Amino acid sequence: MKKSDRRQAESDLFDAFETGPYFNTSVIFRGTEDICCLRVLEYLFEGPAWDIEIAAIAGTSSPADVVSTLRNLGLGDQGLAYQQAKWIGIPSRPILHGYYFLTEAGRQAVLDWQSTVYLGAMTNILEKQAAFLENELTYLIKEMELIAQEIESITLEFEQLIFQISTISKHTGGN
């Protein structure tokens, strides 16, 4: 190979490289405290849910509101997917209903949020326990200082009694 040919060569090092779902950083769930959304997420972790099921779980007549909220919190279409299906209605007409499901990226985003919330809660508990233990330790140190002062006081009184006994014994002739 000539030197000029090397400049024109193209790299094939990354040709077989594929991005898998574990590289998906576009789905970041910011979390919620809305009980309706939390109930729907819990249900979706078990599997897909029809739109009418989501309405019943959320306690609303419009599942789109809950789904929109979850998508706006970071799940988007990539984390909370929707698929339409035809149902046959009473007068034999097709009715379009759909079901929602969490994608793997959506599941991972919710799990990441839950672990962050759990970690935050555990950190808060540990900080409170550390503050309690610090107060207890401060109390015990003060108690030990008081005990040390009391021992020193008793030692002085003991030395004074020994001195008085030795003085009395010198005056009485040692008896």
More confident of the two residues 54 and 92: 54
Q: Is the dihedral of CA 42, 43, 46, 47 positive or negative?
A: negative
Residue 80 burial (CB < 10 Å; 0-12/13-18/19+)? buried
Q: Is the per-residue pLDDT at 102 higher than 80?
A: yes
What's the pLDDT at 25?
A: 53
Q: What is the pLDDT of residues 154-163, one digit of tens each?
A: 999 999 999 9
- The torsion angles phi and psi of 135, rounded to 5 degrees, stand at -65, -45
Cα 146 to chain center, whole Å? 43
pLDDT of residue 98: 84
Q: Give the phi and the psi of residue 136 in degrees, each rounded to 5.
A: -65, -40
Which tops the pLDDT comparison, 36 or 5?
Answer: 36
The mean pLDDT value of the chain amounts to 82
The domains of the chain are located at 19-122
Q: How confident is the model at residue 59 (pLDDT cuts 50, 70, 90)?
A: confident
The CATH classification number of 19-122 equals: 1.10.10.10
Mean pLDDT calculated for residue range 47-66: 90
pTM of the model: 0.55
Q: What is the pLDDT of residue 97?
A: 79
Residue 93 has which token pair? Answer: 């007409």
